[in-house]
Chain A
Amino acid sequence: MKLTRRNFLAWAGLSAVGAVACDVFEDELRVQSPVSLPEDLVKGKENWYATLCRTCPSSEGVVVRVVEGRAKKIQGNPNYPTNMGAQSARCDLGLQQLYHPDRLTGPVRLNGPKGSGRFDKITWDRALEALKKELQDRDGAVAMITPPLRGHAALISDNFVKAFGGKRIEFDSLDLNTYKQAIENVFGKKIQPYYDISNAKYVLSFGSDFLSTWISPTQWEVAYGQFRDSKHSDRGTLTHVDSRFSVTASNADRWIPIKPGQEGKLALSIAYVLIEEKLTPSKVDIDDLTDGKGLSALASYHPDNLAAELGIPEHITGSNSVSELIRTVAREFASQGPAIAIGGGSAGASTNGLFNLEAIYLLNHLVGSVGIKGGVILNPDSPIKELSAGSSSHTITDVENLIKDIKSSKIKMLIINGTNPVYGLPNWTGLKEALENEDVYLVSFDYLMNETNNLSNLILPDRNFMEEWGDDIPEPASGYQVIGIQQPIVNPLSDLDPRSSSDVMLSVAQDLGKDSDLPWKTLQEAMKSMSDQLFDLNRGSVPGSTKQEFWNNLLKQGGWWDEGATESSSVDVSNIVSNIVAKDKGAAVQSTGEFYLVPFEHNSLLDGRNGDIPWAQATPDPVTSIAWQTWVEINEKKANDMGIQEGDVLKVQSENFEIKGIAFLSPAQPPEVISIPLGQGRTIGSSYATNRLDGESANVLDMLENHKVNETGSLAWAATKVNVINTNTSLRIAKFEGDFESREIGFTEGEKLIKTTSPNGNNH
């Protein structure tokens, strides 16, 4: 080509373009369209959007700071009735979930034998085609496993799987079925009640670690802050009964250690004292409660008779004997009202868990605390007819039945929606083997790889909660009707192609003509129609003269609530005492071993659901300050006697199973108990969850024996006894505290770091 002036300029122009294209990173050219989120792209300008947090089951109301289309910070929504602007250590984890480096980028299909981990990327069109084909081929033999869901997510999942002749199982490692059953039996309603701790003066709790992980901890912590009262002239007292030294035990004014499974007997013994010493208020009809039997209904729970059985040490908070302690607590509970008794966690997880919890909640009736300020406040039904205020709950027995159906080919297609049951169930349930069967078609909605979806035929990447619509009826609500709203506040990043699982189900149902109970095209449409229903109620917290204005304000507030919509039903308590006493039979813990094993939910990983998130792994446990590892909490003196030092790798053996963990010597652990947190021991997942040395990460669920709670069929996870063997190897322990013994060393008042005072202001 001849070089003319025109040619030269053309070439020069082209090479300049080339230079620019080479200099600029590809990522920087992928600017999100300002058309879709114009206000978010104003440089340096922040917006706060209200939504719901989904990193723990309590789904707190949050506001999220968005700058230039990216979520930057999650904080409590100050208006939201449950958490009232506060947050837990788990709220901010949502950011790392949203921007997790290992998020699935698009749908994948198995290309090889199940469990081989060989997946091919496919387009959404092909993925949905495959899903539809399998649903049609296996119609009538479909089932779904989800975590406990509420609101429209539950409704859509239920109706979807029903349309294909199947049923949805709500899976939760430590399910709340026993607790809910006890609530229904004692308060007459299955919807979880609200415990008005903020206005209470005395809280007597049994086994429930309500300041760390139990049900709705942020809600309880907000109330606990008010219960403690800065001016401390009117400070409430917390007595906590627990078989291990939990976060709640460490904050209690008095911790009463007890043998696992004896909580119900202690509660009835307190009830005995309340009746014997006539401490119950006059409005409480003891004859009605005991069917006219009075004290004789509880004759076998005289404190003197039980003292040896309960496993409570002598001299707790200055008492001379266990029976004196029981009497002291009963007197405090009756005289320092309003008083609440709450129970859950390990107290409901021995084989007699239902008896324990019913006996505990009975105490509220005896001091007239039900339905009063500072007591147990029942929650009302949902304002929206089709959305239930009390989530259904299934137990491990239901999952076992499902596994049987899979093995007998009654179920040929399983949809797993956002949960990891292969990890979260003890191995003896056999779910993994059932899913490894090539005849079972497994579809997973998820955002990361895990033990369950690794066995899938098809994985559909789900949206993060900050990219998706949703709603929630918090359980428990704050004593009145509440509906929380979740809205997409950012778009998925350009290299990710997730779709809302609810939207996928709706569109598939419509395409296959199975949408008779799913009248919406998208989840957003379902929520809009709910908003219209709320508008028509013409009450509640959301202003708006038109439906559109109401919808906008609903999103802005992050939910709808009506403080006037409370529950007014009364509870029929006749003969309740005999019904509870009749349940007290059989041993609480059936296996043999030197130690009681009391597992517990990890403060940030919970039951393992947050295991892939770096902040969750790196947040020290409040009591031990350990991160990233599985530890075995053992009494310091007992360990010294056994020749165990901190960092030793211990083999913990139940009758049939064993796991390994690192010894943590605790001066507070009861000598006959060891406790191990849930949450570690992942085998497939992101590098944050896996990638551990032998002995520093284990799944405590794998060593639980097959014991169920009587009458409810829940897993009795605190009913296994174990032996502990030192493997004589040791590992460095990843804990935040120093290596020296962390006890106060100050000799003078000025050197003391933590100073104390008595309630009347006298310094100690």
Chain B
Amino acid sequence: MVVKVDHKWGMVVDLDKCTGCQACVVACQAENNLPINTKDLFMQKRAFEWIRIERYWEGDFPDVRARYLPVMCQHCGNAPCEPVCPVYATYHNDQGLNVQVYNRCVGTRYCINNCTYQVRFFNFWEPQWPERLQNQLNPDVTVRTRGITEKCSFCVQRIRRAEVTVERRERTKLNDKIMAARNYMPACVQACPTNALMFGDQNNEQDEIHEYFEEIRGDDHGDSRGYRLLEEIGTDPSVIYLKKVEQFQMEHD
């Protein structure tokens, strides 16, 4: 019998652990065939980073902090990008993922306009790799062409591999431990040295992230350590951030 599981994937980002080291950023670029961010792309503010580290300043020398915030597609339950796509290139699947279908995309960029988190990227040019570097491209991930919008997929290719191998062939229920042990975690989560990124199934009680999603659902007063980015807008993201812990308060507080 095939195990039928209702997954709802989600991520938890512990801001107290993120050091801003960029390991997730490079791992994502390697896994997902992102175009090389040339100097020109940086100058045009069009560098492709499906997961990025935002750095915010607070205070001034010497009472100063730099805060790091990893931002990837929030896979919103109520995603502003989805209803505006005229060709259904972006839609919500039954596992809580916000999916981008590249061969449907016609490049209107409405979704990019409407995204609250600015996590969608448009290929203004055909991405180029020198011939030899093409050997590195991941055969599981489509190389996007000019005129296509792309974004974080929670490494859906790895999730699919996990489902096919573990759930269909081995008939075992997936959990975060199996995914971590067998390289099915999203590339950023797997790479993160401080374990600031956690991934799993919001519906699976065994998964580490489950309790954070349970807590936030029952929390109306902002008492839990978890919160979601710009949640007042009502996008219902599948990514929870855990508040940064301040051992010593800043003087201006």
Residues on A lying within 8 angstroms of B by beta carbon are 44, 48, 63, 65, 67-68, 70-76, 78, 83, 85-93, 95-96, 98-101, 103, 211-212, 217-218, 221-222, 224-226, 228, 230, 232, 235, 237, 245, 247, 250-251, 253-255, 257, 313, 315-318, 493, 603-604, 614-615, 617-620, 622-623, 625, 627-629, 635-637, 667-671, 732, 734-739, 741-744, 748-751, 753-759, 761, 763-764
> Within the assembled complex, what's the spacing in Å between the Cα atoms of A667 and B66?
9
Quick one: closest B residue to A317, CB to CB?
Answer: B248
Task: Name the distance in Å between A229's Cβ and chain B's nearest Cβ.
Answer: 9
Q: Taking the complex as formed, is B243 at the interface, i.e. its CB lies under 8 A from any CB of chain A?
A: yes
Task: Name the distance in Å between A451's Cβ and chain B's nearest Cβ.
Answer: 21
Query: Known interface pairs A101-B132, A230-B14, A251-B19. Does A88 touch B193 (Cβ–Cβ under 8 Å)?
Result: yes
Q: Which of B131-151 touch A at CB < 8 Å? A: 131-139
- A to B CB contacts below 8 Å, 14 in the list: A75-B190, A86-B194, A101-B131, A222-B193, A224-B194, A235-B247, A255-B64, A318-B249, A603-B22, A637-B60, A671-B61, A736-B47, A753-B56, A755-B227
Q: Taking the complex as formed, is B170 at the interface, i.e. its CB lies under 8 A from any CB of chain A?
A: no
Let me know if B133 and A668 touch, CB within 8 A.
no
Task: Name the distance in Å between B34's Cβ and chain A's nearest Cβ.
Answer: 10
Quick one: closest B residue to A250, CB to CB?
Answer: B66
Task: Name the distance in Å between B189's Cβ and chain A's nearest Cβ.
Answer: 11
Let me know if A763 and B222 touch, CB within 8 A.
yes
Query: Known interface pairs A101-B133, A221-B21, A754-B15. Does A44 touch B139 (Cβ–Cβ under 8 Å)?
Result: yes
Q: Which stretch of B2-10, B23-31, B84-92, B99-107 is in the interface?
A: B23-31
Q: Taking the complex as formed, is B39 at the interface, i.e. its CB lies under 8 A from any CB of chain A?
A: yes
Query: Known interface pairs A86-B192, A635-B61, A750-B230. Does A71 touch B245 (Cβ–Cβ under 8 Å)?
Result: no
Q: Taking the complex as formed, is B45 at the interface, i.e. its CB lies under 8 A from any CB of chain A?
A: yes
If A75-B191, A313-B61, A744-B67 are given as contacts, then 15 extra A-B residue pairs at C-beta distance below 8 Å, sorted by A number, are A72-B139, A87-B27, A232-B225, A316-B63, A615-B36, A622-B53, A627-B39, A628-B38, A668-B66, A735-B42, A753-B56, A754-B244, A756-B244, A757-B244, A758-B249
Q: Which of B76-127 touch A at CB < 8 Å? A: none
Using Cβ atoms and an 8 Å threshold, which residues of chain A touch B23?
86-89, 91, 218
Let me know if A48 and B247 touch, CB within 8 A.
no
Let me know if A628 and B39 touch, CB within 8 A.
yes
> Within the assembled complex, what's the spacing in Å between the Cα atoms of A419 and B222?
54
Let me know if A211 and B43 touch, CB within 8 A.
no
Using Cβ atoms and an 8 Å threshold, which residues of chain A touch B65?
250
Let me know if B132 and A103 touch, CB within 8 A.
yes
Residues on B lying within 8 angstroms of A by beta carbon are 14-17, 19-23, 25-27, 29-31, 36-39, 42-43, 45, 47, 49, 52-69, 130-139, 180-181, 183, 187, 190-196, 222-223, 225, 227, 229-232, 241-249, 251, 253
Query: Known interface pairs A615-B29, A758-B249. Does A89 touch B21 (Cβ–Cβ under 8 Å)?
Result: yes
> Within the assembled complex, what's the spacing in Å between the Cα atoms of A475 and B25?
27
> Within the assembled complex, what's the spacing in Å between the Cα atoms of A181 and B229?
48
Please name the 5 residue pairs, one residue from A and one from B, whose CB atoms are nearest each other, closest first.
A225-B194, A750-B232, A101-B130, A221-B193, A86-B193
Let me know if A736 and B21 touch, CB within 8 A.
no
| Interface hub of A100, A751, A755 (most chain B Cβ within 10 A) | A755
Quick one: closest A residue to B241, CB to CB?
Answer: A755
Query: Known interface pairs A667-B61, A742-B56. Does A734 touch B135 (Cβ–Cβ under 8 Å)?
Result: no
Let me know if B193 and A87 touch, CB within 8 A.
yes
Using Cβ atoms and an 8 Å threshold, which residues of chain B touch A669?
61
> Within the assembled complex, what's the spacing in Å between the Cα atoms of A224 and B62?
24
Let me know if A670 and B225 touch, CB within 8 A.
no
Using Cβ atoms and an 8 Å threshold, which residues of chain A touch B43?
732, 734
Let me know if A627 and B244 touch, CB within 8 A.
no
Quick one: closest B residue to A101, CB to CB?
Answer: B130
> Within the assembled complex, what's the spacing in Å between the Cα atoms of A623 and B53?
10
Let me know if B231 and A750 touch, CB within 8 A.
yes
Task: Name the distance in Å between B75's Cβ and chain A's nearest Cβ.
Answer: 18
Let me know if B26 and A92 touch, CB within 8 A.
yes
> Within the assembled complex, what's the spacing in Å between the Cα atoms of A90 and B191?
11
Query: Known interface pairs A75-B191, A628-B42, A668-B64. Does A247 touch B248 (Cβ–Cβ under 8 Å)?
Result: no
Using Cβ atoms and an 8 Å threshold, which residues of chain A touch B26?
89-93, 604, 615, 619
Using Cβ atoms and an 8 Å threshold, which residues of chain A touch B64?
245, 255, 667-668
Let me know if A754 and B67 touch, CB within 8 A.
yes
> Within the assembled complex, what's the spacing in Å between the Cα atoms of A564 and B61?
47
| Interface hub of A63, A211, A247, A250 (most chain B Cβ within 10 A) | A250
Let me know if B136 and A222 touch, CB within 8 A.
no
Using Cβ atoms and an 8 Å threshold, which residues of chain A touch B53?
620, 622, 625
Task: Name the distance in Å between B23's Cβ and chain A's nearest Cβ.
Answer: 5
Choose from A65, A70, A317, A739 the contact partner of B135 (Cβ within 8 Å).
Answer: A70
Provide the main secondary structure of the chain A interface.
loop
Using Cβ atoms and an 8 Å threshold, which residues of chain A touch B139?
44, 67-68, 72
Let me know if A99 and B133 touch, CB within 8 A.
yes
> Within the assembled complex, what's the spacing in Å between the Cα atoms of A360 and B231?
46
Using Cβ atoms and an 8 Å threshold, which residues of chain B touch A89?
21-23, 25-26
Task: Name the distance in Å between B9's Cβ and chain A's nearest Cβ.
Answer: 20
Let me know if B42 and A85 touch, CB within 8 A.
no
Query: Known interface pairs A221-B21, A755-B227. Does A257 touch B62 (Cβ–Cβ under 8 Å)?
Result: yes
Let me know if A253 and B193 touch, CB within 8 A.
no
> Within the assembled complex, what's the spacing in Å between the Cα atoms of A742 and B56?
5
Let me know if A73 and B138 touch, CB within 8 A.
yes
> Within the assembled complex, what's the spacing in Å between the Cα atoms of A133 and B192?
50
> Within the assembled complex, what's the spacing in Å between the Cα atoms of A748 and B23?
32
> Within the assembled complex, what's the spacing in Å between the Cα atoms of A99 and B36?
14
Let me know if B183 and A75 touch, CB within 8 A.
yes
Task: Name the distance in Å between B13's Cβ and chain A's nearest Cβ.
Answer: 11
Let me know if B136 and A224 touch, CB within 8 A.
no
Let me know if B59 and A667 touch, CB within 8 A.
yes
| Interface hub of B36, B180, B227, B245 (most chain A Cβ within 10 A) | B245
Task: Name the distance in Å between B77's Cβ and chain A's nearest Cβ.
Answer: 17
Query: Known interface pairs A100-B132, A218-B193, A667-B61. Does A754 touch B56 (Cβ–Cβ under 8 Å)?
Result: yes
Task: Name the distance in Å between B158's Cβ and chain A's nearest Cβ.
Answer: 10
Let me know if B57 and A253 touch, CB within 8 A.
no
> Within the assembled complex, what's the spacing in Å between the Cα atoms of A230 and B230?
22
Let me know if A228 and B187 touch, CB within 8 A.
no
Quick one: closest B residue to A256, CB to CB?
Answer: B62
Using Cβ atoms and an 8 Å threshold, which residues of chain A touch B38?
618, 628
Let me know if A251 and B133 touch, CB within 8 A.
no
Task: Name the distance in Å between B101's Cβ and chain A's nearest Cβ.
Answer: 21
Let me know if A753 and B229 touch, CB within 8 A.
yes
> Within the assembled complex, what's the spacing in Å between the Cα atoms of A732 and B22?
23
Task: Name the distance in Å between A464's Cβ and chain B's nearest Cβ.
Answer: 12
Query: Known interface pairs A103-B132, A618-B36, A667-B57. Does A92 touch B30 (Cβ–Cβ under 8 Å)?
Result: yes
Using Cβ atoms and an 8 Å threshold, which residues of chain A touch B58?
743-744
> Within the assembled complex, what's the spacing in Å between the Cα atoms of A232 and B231?
24
Quick one: closest A residue to B36, CB to CB?
Answer: A614
Query: Known interface pairs A99-B136, A247-B21, A622-B68. Does A74 touch B30 (Cβ–Cβ under 8 Å)?
Result: yes
Quick one: closest B residue to A691, CB to CB?
Answer: B39
| Interface hub of A254, A635, A754 (most chain B Cβ within 10 A) | A754
Let me know if B246 and A756 touch, CB within 8 A.
yes
Task: Name the distance in Å between A174's Cβ and chain B's nearest Cβ.
Answer: 19
> Within the assembled complex, what's the spacing in Å between the Cα atoms of A247 and B135?
33
Let me know if A751 and B232 touch, CB within 8 A.
yes
> Within the assembled complex, what's the spacing in Å between the Cα atoms of A406 and B5?
71
Using Cβ atoms and an 8 Å threshold, which residues of chain A touch B61?
257, 313, 635, 637, 667-671
Quick one: closest B residue to A693, CB to CB?
Answer: B39
Choose from B45, B57, B136, B181 the contact partner of A738 (Cβ within 8 Å).
Answer: B45
Let me know if B56 and A744 touch, CB within 8 A.
yes
Let me know if B22 and A619 touch, CB within 8 A.
yes
> Within the assembled complex, what's the spacing in Å between the Cα atoms of A617 and B40?
12
> Within the assembled complex, what's the spacing in Å between the Cα atoms of A619 and B130?
19
Query: Known interface pairs A95-B136, A738-B45, A757-B243. Does A318 touch B19 (Cβ–Cβ under 8 Å)?
Result: no
> Within the assembled complex, what's the spacing in Å between the Cα atoms of A98 and B183?
22
> Within the assembled complex, what's the spacing in Å between the Cα atoms of A347 and B239?
40
Using Cβ atoms and an 8 Å threshold, which residues of chain B touch A228?
14, 16-17, 194, 245
